[in-house]
Copies of this chain bind each other. A is one copy, B any other.
């Protein structure tokens, strides 16, 4: 029934560098493979903006920093390229994909499409009551964040709320897409402009309207509100 609403497990790794000397066998720390660590670390660096757009990075360097060989790093780069975060140039290196304004539009548009479809399915399959408690709780969390003027907390709740809608649809394909899009959006958020605190109140109102639409079982209304919501974000970026 209740799935873990976890916002994202992707940003749970340590940053790059800082690999203190040589760690010959850190597999004891967890079941993560070396490739996973390389993937998570590099992705984190890209999303957080530590790696500038257009930066040319090589497998050997990352491998050295993580104390692993080039092979798992190579695999990580392939994954990141598939996700649109890197561009692999054969025998030259991997460049951190510069993001264009149009790309921001593209990502937001897809996010809107996926989430609207998820909301529609929740409503159509009569699972509104399942997700509503989570949504309300996150909405309350957001209200508190607004009151406390805590932007990070607000963003966390924001991510959680949108993620909860997608998770509630129980569509693994949608979840995968949403995760992909979320990562890229987060990168844009970090890289371009941090959402101004003044936007919080408006965003909160829209979120409340979204939850209300779900509560009213009105998929069309949800889509319409979501459209406005995304459009406003578009303007900010």
Q: How many residues of A contact B (CB 8 A)?
A: 26
A-B contact pairs, 27 of them (CB 8 A): A71-B71, A74-B75, A75-B75, A75-B78, A79-B82, A82-B82, A84-B173, A103-B172, A105-B171, A106-B171, A106-B172, A106-B173, A106-B174, A109-B117, A109-B121, A109-B173, A109-B174, A110-B114, A110-B117, A110-B171, A110-B173, A110-B177, A112-B117, A113-B113, A113-B116, A113-B117, A173-B181
A107 interface residue (CB < 8 Å to B): yes
CB contacts (< 8 Å) of A78 on chain B: these are 75, 78-79
CB contacts (< 8 Å) of A116 on chain B: these are 113
Residues 115-162 of A contacting B (Cβ, < 8 Å): 116-117, 121
Residues 144-195 of A contacting B (Cβ, < 8 Å): 171-174, 176-177, 181
> A177 to B177, alpha carbons, bound, how many Å?
8
Residues of chain A at the chain B interface (Cβ within 8 Å): 71, 74-75, 78-79, 82, 84, 103, 105-107, 109-110, 112-114, 116-117, 121, 171-174, 176-177, 181
Number of this chain's copies in the assembly equals: 2
CB contacts (< 8 Å) of A171 on chain B: these are 105-106, 109-110
Least Cβ–Cβ distance between A130 and chain B, in angstroms:
17
Which of B106, B107, B112, B174 is close to A110, meaning CB atoms less than 8 Å apart?
Answer: B174
Q: Which residue of B lies closest to A117 (CB)?
A: B113
Task: Report which residue of A84, A113, A171, A181 has the largest number of chain B beta carbons within 10 angstroms of its beta carbon.
Answer: A113
CB contacts (< 8 Å) of A106 on chain B: these are 171-174
> A117 to B113, alpha carbons, bound, how many Å?
6
CB contacts (< 8 Å) of A75 on chain B: these are 74-75, 78
> A63 to B172, alpha carbons, bound, how many Å?
31
> A173 to B176, alpha carbons, bound, how many Å?
13
CB contacts (< 8 Å) of A110 on chain B: these are 114, 117, 171, 173-174, 177
Least Cβ–Cβ distance between A32 and chain B, in angstroms:
12
> A176 to B171, alpha carbons, bound, how many Å?
18
